[in-house]
Amino acid sequence: MKQLVTDFPIQLQESLIIGQNYRFTSAKKTFANVVLTGLGGSGIGGSIIQNYVFDKMKVPFVVNKDYFMPSFISSDSLVIISSYSGNTEETIAAMQQAIKAKATIVCITSGGKVAETAKKKHLDCILVPAGMPPRACVGYSMVQVLYTLQHFDLVKDNFEKDIKASIRLLKDEAKDIQKQAKAIAKKLIGKTPIIYAASDYEGVAIRFRQQINENGKMLCWHHVIPEMNHNELVGWRDKDNSRAVVILRTEDDYERVQLRMEINKKVIKKYTNSITEIYAKGKSYWEKVFYFIHLTDWVSVYLADLHEQDATEVKVIDFLKAELAKS
C-alpha cells in the first residue's frame, strides 16, 4: 500500500494519458441529469466530483451507492458506471436498470462483468489498469469521470491544467507530506478520529474516513460545516480525550464557514485535548483536493504501521462477499 500511495502522482499522470487517448462512441446530446453509480473506492471519486460540479453544471449530478437507480433515470440521463473490479454486485444491478431505461452509459472499470456487458451492449467503456485495491485507484476513476463530463460538454477542460499542477505539487511536497502524515498518525493512534470539513470538501472527508477504516483498521466519523453546527455540535458535552478531531481547511473556505470553524474549536477544546488542522496547499480546487487525498492516504498507512496491521488486508470484506455468494 505504501508503494501505491507513493505512486499516486504517477497514477494521475497515467490517468491523463488514458483520458486523452480514449475515443467516445456515444454521440453528444443534452441530458436532464447525470448519475454516477459506484461504491467504496470506486464511488468515492464521484462524491468528490459531485462537490466540484455543484456550481458548474446546469443539470443535477447524483451519486448512487446502492443496488437501485433513481426512478427519474431515462433516455435523457447520462449514467456513469464506476466499478474498479467490474464485479461489484450492487453496481452491476444498477447498470442493468440503466440499460433498461435506455440511458446513455459510460463505464469506468478494469474489466470483469461490467466490461463484458459494455462490450455486448456496445457501450463506452474506459479501461484502467487492473490488479490493485480499488481504494488505491481513485485517481484513475476520478479523472476518467472528468473526461466523460468534458466529452458531453458538461464541464470545461481546464481540469487538465489543474491536474498537471497537482502532480508537480505532490512531487515537490512529497517529503513534507509524509512528515506531516506521520505526526498526524501519532496523534490519532488509540483514539477515535472525528473529521470535519467545509461542505464543498465533504467528498475528501469521506475519503479520509474510508481510508482510516480500510487501511488503518479503525472506526471514525465525519461531518461537515455548517450542517454539524445545527446538530452534532450539541453532542460535545462529555470530556473524552480518546476522541481526536481533524479539521480539513483551505484558505478559500467561505468566510462564514471559517468563522464557524474557529468557534467550533473553542467549544470542542473543552471536551478533548486533540484538535489537528490540516491546511491544503495549492491554488486550484483540484490541487487542494489531491493534496488532501495524498496526505490523508499517508496518514492511513502510517496508522496501519502503528497498529502493526497490513494496510492492504480487507479479510472481513472478502468474508462478506463469500457469504453473499452463497445466496
Residue of 58, 230, 266, 326 marked active site: 230
The reply to whether 262 belongs to the active site is no
Cβ(173)–Cβ(78) below 8 Å: no
The one catalytic residue among 151, 214, 217, 223: 214
Q: CA 296 → CA 27, 40, 83, distances in Å? A: 39, 16, 23
230 catalytic per annotation: yes
Catalytic residue, chosen from 119, 121, 283, 321, is 321
Angle made by CA atoms 165, 169, 173, in degrees to the nearest 5? 175
193/209 Cα distance (integer angstroms): 8
Active-site residue flag, 14: no
* CA pair distance 293, 20, nearest whole angstrom: 23
Burial (Cβ within 10 Å: 0-12, 13-18, ≥19) of residue 219: exposed
- 273's grid cell: 485535548
Residue 56 grid coordinates: 458548474
> Catalytic amino acids?
214, 230, 321
